[in-house]
């Protein structure tokens, strides 16, 4: 069955000549009258109330369960890239470009998950105009939302805004390269890092942020990443999140291809709710591979490169639940404004596993706008929660020794 996506009047491309037995047309609902006036079209037409990528994917995914799709085409210039992606995704399934796009482009990422899975995620929409952005707030009855770049990493180009603050956003957000998401009220975030052979997870490990990264930037503090406390307090919730990671990998990955991953999930350990934030085809920053090595005794980068080099001999048994032996933590304060006049002596950090200084006396600092703008990074281990809290206090004391004027 040939699927035809066309967002304009059927008369413009004479859709009456489409073979009714071999084609299905997908069109915006606002064109129903145009089709009625044109008559002539004998092929089945599916009208979508919202003619957007996520709704189109959802429609095609449902069709794919009952008919054999042989091609996806369009004569709309602005849909050429879209139909190319859709045909590769639904028909070929072996396109590295499509897979990399899903891991990189947050709009495609969310759209495919919306259309093909039940994974919980925020409501979202592509930002194309001021009016549509205001409409997103009104339609979903939101008090605040997140506007972010589709293709940038981490917290780069991420804005938390209220409806009243929309006018303060830079004009570039309306160029089609940004999306808006409802603000997720869950206050905790965890990561899942590892790699898979296809969707078969070889290794997966979880860490957590002490505070949401966007909040740490707004507060100009710094990030703290540690071995996830759920390993000791709620292993069943962690198992559910690991299973959700696997569900996403089943949609995103190519069979027999080694895929690294860095998932981020909002969650609440009291209500046990979790919501998908995003996933990258890489390992997490903030020294996460080193945290895995200290916490679990696994050199994840070594294991990954061995899998890449010997993929045809890879062990396909899933290691979904390896337990940590200690709490491994990375601690990294952000740069502040001014000239640095004092830094602590490095010997004061001898109790840590590793410490890297990124500044010296005399350096001029500016307020951090990204999580990679830091004074230093320390990695330390703790054998208990009490020891962890004591070590945090030691780090806070050392951080205060960096002085500016």
Mean of per-residue pLDDT scores for the chain: 93
Computed over its alpha carbons, how large is the radius of gyration of the chain?
Answer: 24
Q: Output the pLDDT for position 316.
A: 56
**11 has pLDDT over 70:** yes
Give yes or no for a contact between 328 and 379, defined as CB atoms under 8 angstroms apart: yes
Give yes or no for a contact between 328 and 381, defined as CB atoms under 8 angstroms apart: yes
**312 has pLDDT over 60:** no
**93 has pLDDT over 70:** no
What's the pLDDT tens digit per position in 345-357? 999 999 999 999 9
What's the pLDDT tens digit per position in 232-273? 999 999 999 999 999 999 999 888 889 999 999 999 999 999
CA-based nearest residue to 172, from 190, 189, 152: 152
CA-based nearest residue to 371, from 383, 355, 354, 358: 358
- Maximum average pLDDT range among 78-82, 156-160, 364-368, 393-397: 393-397
Residue entry with tokens 């062990």 = 315
Q: Output the pLDDT for position 317.
A: 63
Phi and psi, residue 38, nearest 5°: -70, -35
* Per-domain boundaries in the chain: 2-92, 124-182, 188-404
What's the pLDDT tens digit per position in 185-223? 999 999 999 999 988 999 999 999 999 988 888 888 999
CATH of domain 124-182: 3.30.1490.20
CA distance linking residue 227 with residue 309, whole number of Å: 29
- How would residue 57 be classed by pLDDT, with cut points 50, 70 and 90? very high
Average pLDDT over residues 23-37: 95
Q: Output the pLDDT for position 140.
A: 96
Q: Output the pLDDT for position 55.
A: 97
**320 has pLDDT over 80:** no
**311 has pLDDT over 60:** no
Domain covering 2-92 assigned CATH 3.40.50.20 in the classification: yes
- Report residue 31 as tokens: 């064109």
CA-based nearest residue to 213, from 204, 201, 203, 222: 222
Phi-psi region of 249 (alpha: psi -120 to 50; beta: other; left: phi over 0): alpha
What's the pLDDT tens digit per position in 126-163? 999 999 999 999 999 999 999 999 998 767 789 999 99
Residue-wise DSSP of 86-141: HHIIIII---HHHHHHHHH-HHHHHHHHHHH-------EEE---HHHHHHHHHHHT
* CB proximity list for 195: less than 8 A, separation 6 or greater: 201, 202, 203, 258, 259, 260, 261, 300, 303, 304, 307
- Report residue 183 as tokens: 């603000």
| Bridge partners for 330 per DSSP | 225, 379
Tell which CATH architecture fits domain 188-404: 2-Layer Sandwich (3.30)
CA distance linking residue 325 with residue 227, whole number of Å: 10
Q: Output the pLDDT for position 132.
A: 94
**174 has pLDDT over 70:** yes
């Amino acid at each position: 069955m040939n699927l035809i996506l066309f967002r304009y009047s059927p008369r413009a491309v004479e859709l009456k000549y489409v073979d009714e037995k071999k084609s299905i047309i997908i069109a915006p609902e606002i064109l129903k009258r145009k089709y009625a006036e044109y008559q002539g079209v004998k092929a089945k037409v599916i009208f979508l109330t919202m003619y957007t990528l996520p709704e189109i994917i959802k429609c095609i995914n449902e069709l794919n369960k009952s008919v054999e799709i042989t091609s996806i085409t369009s004569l709309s210039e602005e849909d050429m890239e879209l139909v190319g992606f859709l045909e590769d995704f639904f028909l070929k399934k072996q396109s590295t470009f499509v897979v990399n796009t899903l891991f990189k482009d947050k709009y495609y990422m969310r759209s495919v998950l919306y259309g093909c899975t039940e994974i919980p995620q925020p409501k979202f929409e592509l930002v194309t105009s001021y009016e549509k952005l205001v409409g997103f707030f009104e339609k979903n009855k939101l008090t605040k939302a997140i506007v972010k770049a589709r293709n940038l990493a981490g917290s780069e180009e991420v804005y938390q805004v209220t409806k009243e603050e929309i006018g303060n956003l830079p004009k570039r957000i309306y160029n089609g390269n940004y999306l808006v998401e409802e603000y997720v009220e869950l206050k905790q975030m965890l990561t899942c890092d590892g790699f898979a052979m296809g969707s078969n997870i070889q290794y997966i490990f979880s860490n957590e942020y002490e505070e949401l990264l966007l909040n740490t930037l707004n507060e100009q503090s710094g990030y703290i990443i540690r071995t996830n406390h759920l390993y000791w307090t709620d292993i069943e919730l962690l198992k559910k999140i690991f299973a959700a990671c696997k569900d996403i990998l089943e949609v995103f990955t190519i069979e027999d291809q080694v895929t690294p991953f860095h998932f981020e999930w909002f969650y609440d350990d009291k209500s046990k709710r979790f919501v998908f934030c995003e996933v990258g085809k890489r390992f997490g920053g903030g020294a996460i591979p080193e945290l895995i090595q200290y916490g679990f005794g696994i050199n994840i980068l070594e294991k990954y490169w061995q899998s890449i080099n010997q993929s045809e001999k890879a062990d396909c048994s899933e290691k979904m639940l390896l337990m940590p032996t200690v709490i491994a933590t990375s601690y990294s304060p952000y740069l502040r404004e001014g000239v640095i006049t004092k830094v602590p002596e490095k010997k004061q950090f001898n109790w840590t596993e590793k410490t890297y200084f990124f500044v010296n006396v005399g350096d001029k600092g500016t307020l951090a706008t990204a999580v990679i703008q830091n004074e230093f990074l320390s990695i330390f281990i703790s054998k208990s929660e009490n020891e962890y809290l004591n070590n945090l206090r030691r780090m806070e004391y050392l951080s205060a020794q960096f002085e500016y004027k």
